Amino acid sequence: MEKDLWMDFQNLDLGSDQTPKILSSEAKKKGEDNHRFSSVVKALNPHHQNPAGIKLLMPNRINEDETVQFFFRHEHQLLTVLEHGPWNYRDWMVITDRWTRRHQPDYLKTITLWVQIHNIPDESREEGAIREIGDVLGHIEEVFIQQPTREQQGEVWIRVIMDAYGRLIFTRYIYFDEHEEPILIRFTYEKLRRFCTHCGSLQHDVDICDYNPLKIQPGPYDQEEEEVQAPNAEPNMEENQQAHHSLTNKNIMYLVAIQWVASIQTLTYRWSILEMSYSQALLATTAIFFHSVILHQSSISL
């Protein structure tokens, strides 16, 4: 007990008031040399990816921020890994970045993918238009355009740096001609694995997704709906009268229908006394019913 108490005393901040010590350039350079050929991997879905599992892939270490660092002997090995990304672990995507980029604002925040763009008109298959279309996904690094030939169909690919914490986009309407209807453009991602099918996130499953675009960013249609549902301070007599007529109309039609059924039963019972056949009784009752409807509609219009 006493031993644990003295161990806790070592957590005191004694010495924090002194001037911070600055590491020498030689010490910092030694650390950078040891890490410059390393990549840092960060899991996007912690519910299915744990750093310990990623660590088993090859010799590396787990950092305090739950990232996993991979060390390479030569730079070309590191570049090969980065070039052949993106990578995944347990079918969920991971972010891979160079350790030397740790001071960049987008460090461990982006993921690079090859994306194929479909349904682009032939006359719009040029790099300028492709880059404008691809801008909806992120920053375009490369554009590859394969024009159609007799042997193969045309293809359009872009290599895009995307926000790893954003939401995937699979379709987008594009106006290629202001005088024509917009065309639905579709995007397919190479090497993409699992994602949330509700919101397009790479960080969770669909069964735990709580994304609600209407709640987060209400659109004009939502505002119109709220205005319609809001109580009216001044009653509209004309609307109330129309609602009253509609309600009265339904009630009277219901009563007339009941009366029609009762008339059929009565005339059917007495057809022998009136010397009428069943079809004649039904015809007479139907005439009475429609006559009542016409009188009712005339009263409503007045």
52 vs 131, higher pLDDT: 131
Task: Look at residue 276 in the predicted model and tell me its pLDDT.
Answer: 52
Residue with tokens 């995507």: 93
DSSP 167: B
Type of residue found at 137: L
Question: Sorting pLDDT into bands at 50, 70 and 90, what band is 221?
Answer: very low
* Domain boundaries, given as residue ranges, for the chain: 33-105, 110-195, 244-301
- Listing DSSP states for 252-301 in one string gives HHHHHHHHHHHHHHHHHHHHHHHT--HHHHHHHHHHHHHHHHHHHHHHHH
Range from 11-20, 73-82, 92-101, 233-242 carrying the lowest mean pLDDT: 233-242
**Stretch 281-290: mean pLDDT:** 58
279 vs 38, higher pLDDT: 38
Q: Residues 6 or more apart from 245 whose CB is under 8 A from it?
A: 300
Residue 171 has pLDDT above 60, yes or no: yes
**Stretch 246-263: mean pLDDT:** 52
CATH topology of domain 33-105: Alpha-Beta Plaits (3.30.70)
Task: Look at residue 293 in the predicted model and tell me its pLDDT.
Answer: 52
Write the CA distances from 256 to 138, 279, 288, 295, integer angstroms.
66, 20, 10, 11
Q: pTM of the predicted model, to two decimals?
A: 0.62
Residue with tokens 């499953």: 205
Percent of the chain clearing pLDDT 90 (strictly above): 43
pLDDT in tens, 108-120: 999 999 999 999 9
Q: At what angle do helices 237-274 and 278-301 cross, to 10 degrees?
A: 160
Residue 37 has pLDDT above 80, yes or no: yes
